[in-house]
Structure 1
Amino acid sequence: MAPEIRRSLVQHSLLRRDPHAVLRRLLEHVPPGTRPDAPGKELEQRIADLLGKPAALFFPSGTMAQQTALRVHAERTGRRTFAAHPQCHLAVWEEEGYNAVHGLRHKQVGDHHGLITFDDLAEVREPLAALLLELPQRDIGGLLPTWEDLVAQTKWARDGGAAAHMDGARLWEAQTYYERPFAEIADLFDTVYVSLYKGLEGVRGAVLAGDQETIDAASVWRRRLGGATPDAWPPAVTALMGLDEVLPRMAEFRDHARAVAAAINADGYARTRPEVPQTPLFHIHLPASKDAVAAAAKRILEETGVELPQHPKASPDPTRCGIELTIGVASLEFTPQEVADLIRQLR
């Protein structure tokens, strides 16, 4: 029998996704007589307006949304290669679907452990369909380029005839770093994908935004890939709830993340990357092996009901590993010192 989760520092914890609790909240937000297609249409329009784009389209997953965007850009340009970081989501988490399904090629740009630089882009010698930039770069600690770098890199793509595409799975969190309107950030990009279940804490789904012609083409590929699902109102409603209730709290989450990171670094057992988080997401580097940390997290859950990240990432040094922490609604229940004390137990 799985141990009971009573408190959690895991963003996608079963504690937050409890079906009974989600259904109760849905009832509060869906009045009698609501048409099944109404929440989805409202969601698409709200995100298009928020990002300053002419059109937006709901997808059942971010994986499908991003591959679709790149496919459309490839067909528009007649090019099959897109440039992106070696640790972008498409490379790490999607089984090379961009190639297996769409015949696209990923040109890796930049260092595995650092942000893409303009000098990295200058080394690209082949025509591109698109430049994909992930904001923030999750797998290197939630790092973000400066505004000046972001402007220069997206301009570089467009000047070369390529589209600029944003993996904005965590754009909601990244905005707290740039402190500019969402539409001003999105204006640098031809297409923008945003997640509905990460920062917004919905149940699933994604939205792709861009110009009307691109979104119309994307709608064809969404149907071809089986993503034009009817009755998609449950994820749409939970996303609308997130826009109303969670999105306004992103700066609060970022500030708490910084306080948590400061407590961890002051303790001295572990270190965070970055030292001062730029968003509510950051990494914690521990002086213990991956197996030891996983076993300790399991023990803490069994003994206390407190859920910590269960899947640490190995380091080139086998005596060290790292975990990812994202501060959201549930993790605000933990004081910074509580988190630092729990991290010290991961050994």
Structure 2
Amino acid sequence: MDSHTTPADREQLTRSLSVHGQQRRAPTRRLNELLTRVEDGDLDTYGRGGAVARLEHRVADLLGKEAAVFMPTGAMATQVALRLHADARTCRTIGFHPRAHIEVHELKGYEIVHQLHGKLLGDHDRLVTLQDLEAVREPLAAVLLELPQRDLGGLLPTWEELTAQTSWLRTRGIAAHLDGARLWEAQPYYGRPHAEIAALFDTVYVSLYKGLEGLAGAVLAGPSDLVNQAREWRDRLGGKLHHAWPLAVSAELGLDGLVPRMPAFWERARELAAALRDIPGVEVLPDPPQTPLFHVIVPVPPQALAAAHQRFVERRGLELFLYPRPTTSPRCSRFEVTVGENAMTIDPHEVRASLIEVLRDAAS
């Protein structure tokens, strides 16, 4: 790129390995996509009718649940679901993994807004096990399980372990809630219909903007009475949007075009991992990937990696990741690879050569 390239030109020229890269999310592209699908009958009013109602019915059907409600964010969906489970059981304690989104990224909303007490289950660096549940010595209203566990590189429990955990909860009257933000990505690993996975849980939240590449939003699915209560809580918390039809229509585009592609995205993730795993000092987690998401650990501090990567993007027009993250070692960092249509256009061998170039620059 020459010195006269504008920021807008740079965005057009840059490719991205990330599903969240801007290439497929640019406003003009999204508006053109919506125009191919939207109809006047899609109009909703405060989340009632139109495309929003159609999406709610469709997701409830897909997950085998009685009902579903659109939520503006997954954080609201999960916090409301856990609150309702706690209210129904007159118990304020909920269990979840130490790296669960609700604990790491939501500023203690479950505690400050909903007066819930969080019980951390298991260890930071591995999945929750049945033994972790059995070790709890206090009453629990609900347990949240995240499929896949994003901050562990997209790890998933085996089907046998998952069914053992949810059966243990059910026999004790403890609600099971699924943080299924990436359920679409997890489903190929189990090779079972979405509804069969969702049937293990009392309530399920799915994201509309991650793997589905929608504009924003989430859906919470479960029993009709709980969903009706959740709809009221959405309104109490200020989540009732006047018109949400653009969010619903963009999610439907993802359900139609991207959910069927998840097995191919998973296969590309494994190809990418295979291309990267034997670079000196590089580690892929998990190896092989269990979903179209995995982490790469490199022997470079985050600040040096970020600077070298930015120079590489300006030089080559290829974005390998969105940002580096720290590890327990100050000499290392990690980044996340999330595979969608963006990554399908980039050869794994090019990714390997690119990472070697970035690491060489960062170490110099």
TM-score w.r.t. the length of structure 1 is 0.97
Asked whether 1:62 is paired with 2:74, we answer yes
Bigger shift: 298-307 or 271-280? 298-307
2:46 is aligned with 1:25: no
Contact 1:270 1:343 in 2 (8 A): no
What is the Cα deviation at residue 234 of structure 1?
0.5
Q: CA deviation at 1:304?
A: 2.1
Query: Is 1:9 aligned to 2:27, yes or no?
Result: no
**Residue number among 267, 272, 292 corresponding to 1:255 in the alignment:** 267
Q: Distance between the aligned counterparts of 2:23 and 2:290, measured in 1?
A: 26
| Distance in 2 of aligned mates of 1:269 and 1:234 | 45
Instruction: Report the Cα distance in structure 2 between the residues aligned to 1:289 and 1:80, rounded to whole angstroms.
Output: 41
Structure 2 residue aligned with 1:93: 105
The correspondence for 1:171, drawn from 178, 183, 190, is: 183
Q: Deviations over 1:200-258 (max 9, x none)?
A: 11111000000101101111101101112121000100000000001100000000000
- Count of aligned residue pairs for this structure pair: 347
Within 5 Å, which residues of 2 pair with 1:1-347?
2=7, 4-5=10-11, 6-36=14-44, 37-344=49-356, 345-346=358-359, 347=362
2:304 & 2:335 partners in 1: Cα distance?
A: 12
| Partner deviation per Cα, 1:26-77 (whole Å, 9 max, x = no partner) | 1110134543331111111111000000100000110110101011111111
Segments of 5+ residues of structure 1 without an aligned counterpart are: none
Q: CA–CA distance in 1 between the matches of 2:54 and 2:276?
A: 42
Contact 2:93-2:141 at 8 Å conserved across structures:
yes
Letter in 1 for 2:355: I
Inter-partner Cα distance in structure 1 for 2:22 and 2:108: 28
Contact 2:21–2:342 (Cα < 8 Å) also in 1? no
Structure 2 CA distance for aligned equivalents of residues 176 and 23 of structure 1:
30
Q: CA deviation at 1:269?
A: 4.3
CA 1:157–1:75 in structure 2 vs 1: closer, same or farther (change >3 Å)?
Answer: same
Identity over aligned pairs, percent: 51
Q: Secondary structure at the match of 1:15?
A: helix
8 A Cα contact 1:142 1:282, kept in partner: yes
One-letter identity of the residue aligned with 1:325: V
Q: Is the 8 A contact 1:74 1:80 kept in 2?
A: yes
State the secondary structure of the residue aligned to 1:165: strand
In the TM superposition, residue 2 of structure 1 has moved relative to its aligned partner by: 4.7
**Structure-2 separation of matches of 1:322 and 1:9:** 15
* CA apart distance, 1:327: 0.5
Q: Which runs of 4+ in 1 moved over 4 A?
A: none
SS across alignment from 1:183: helix
State which drifts further: 335-344 or 167-176. 335-344
Letter in 2 for 1:123: A
Over 3 Å counting, the alpha-carbon distance change for 1:10 and 1:71 in structure 2 is same
- The answer to whether the 8 Å contact 1:298/1:310 transfers is no
- Letter in structure 2 aligned against 1:26: L
